[in-house]
Structure formats: C-alpha cells, structure tokens
C-alpha cells in the first residue's frame, strides 16, 4: 500500500496507478518573434533623442559663453591690478622728481623772481609802445625787461 497523506489505510485509485503507453511525445517550441517598430514610432523616438541632444547642446553653449566672460573678467581684473601698481610706482617717481626740481633749477642758474608775475625779455628796438596804451599793466624798464602783473 501506498502512503497517502499520512494514512496507510487509504485505498489507491486504479487510475493513478495505470500508465498509458505513449508511442510518441509531442514537443512544441514557443518561438517569440519581435515585431519591428512602425516608422512613425521610430521617427518619434529619433525626434525625442534629437530634441534632448539639442537642449544639452544649448546648455553647453551657454556654459561655454559664461566661462569665456568669467575668464575675460579675471584677465581684466589682473590687468587693472597691474596698471594700479604701475600708477603707484609712477606717482612715487613723480614725487621724487618734483623734489629734485629746485635743486636742478639752482644748478642750471635759475633764480626766484623778486617781483611777482612773469618777465618777458623785450629786444632793444621794440621798447616803444607798440599798441600799448598807458592804462595797460605792462611796463618797460630801462634794461628791456617788461613785467606783467597778475
């Protein structure tokens, strides 16, 4: 007897025990065939990919232009700093040269004028009043030097 679900007293069925003889065995193989995509669907996918590539290209172009602008700003800032340093050096050099002016003038023979104003050397033949009236503030002296007062 067969052991069925823990009970040895169960009678076996005859149908389960009898085997039918099979002369051939039928085998089937399932072949799945992928259908090709329709043309419209292919175009839709291709357009979607092209759109994504175009958007990414636009973003990349923007980033490149921003990078160029930032690089130009950095270059200009470095140029400004270099020019400011040069201006400071030139200002220091100017002050040093301005301090040397009185010494150099004395060395060359220049003297401080005694009368305020500027002096003009008038040639001897021009000492007459050529177009000068007496109300004018220019006066000719005996040595041919005219002094104009401010």
88 in any annotated domain: yes
Residues 88-126: pLDDT tens digits?
999 999 999 999 998 998 898 888 777 777 767 777 776
Q: How far apart are CA 132 and CA 139, in angstroms?
A: 9
- Identify whether 53 is part of a domain: yes
The answer as to whether 49 is a domain residue is yes
How many domains, the chain?
1
pTM beyond 0.85? no
Provide the edge-to-edge strand list for the sheet that holds 118-121.
118-121, 145-148, 138-140
pLDDT value at 10 more than 50: yes
| Domain membership flag for residue 65 | yes
Identify any residues that bridge with 120 across adjacent strands, giving them in sequence order. 146
On whether residue 6 sits in a domain, the answer given is: no
User: Does any domain span residue 127?
Assistant: no
Domain ranges, residue 46: 38-107
List, for residues 43-78, the tens digit of each pLDDT value. 999 999 999 999 999 999 999 999 999 999 999 999
**Could you tell me if residue 114 is inside a domain?**
no
């Amino acid at each position: 007897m067969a052991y069925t679900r823990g009970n040895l007293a169960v009678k076996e069925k005859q149908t389960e025990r009898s085997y039918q003889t099979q002369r051939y065995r039928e085998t089937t193989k399932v072949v799945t065939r992928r259908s090709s995509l329709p043309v419209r669907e292919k175009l839709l996918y291709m357009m979607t990919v092209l759109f994504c590539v175009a958007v990414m290209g636009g973003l990349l172009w923007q980033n490149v232009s921003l990078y160029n602008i930032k690089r130009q700003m950095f270059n200009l800032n470095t140029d400004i700093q270099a020019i400011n340093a040069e201006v400071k050096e030139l200002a220091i050099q100017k002050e040093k040269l301005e301090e040397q002016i009185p010494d150099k003038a004395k060395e060359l023979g220049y003297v401080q004028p005694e009368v305020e104003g500027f002096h003009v050397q008038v040639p001897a033949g021009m000492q007459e009043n050529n177009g000068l009236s007496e109300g004018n503030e220019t006066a000719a002296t005996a040595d041919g030097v005219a002094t104009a007062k401010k």
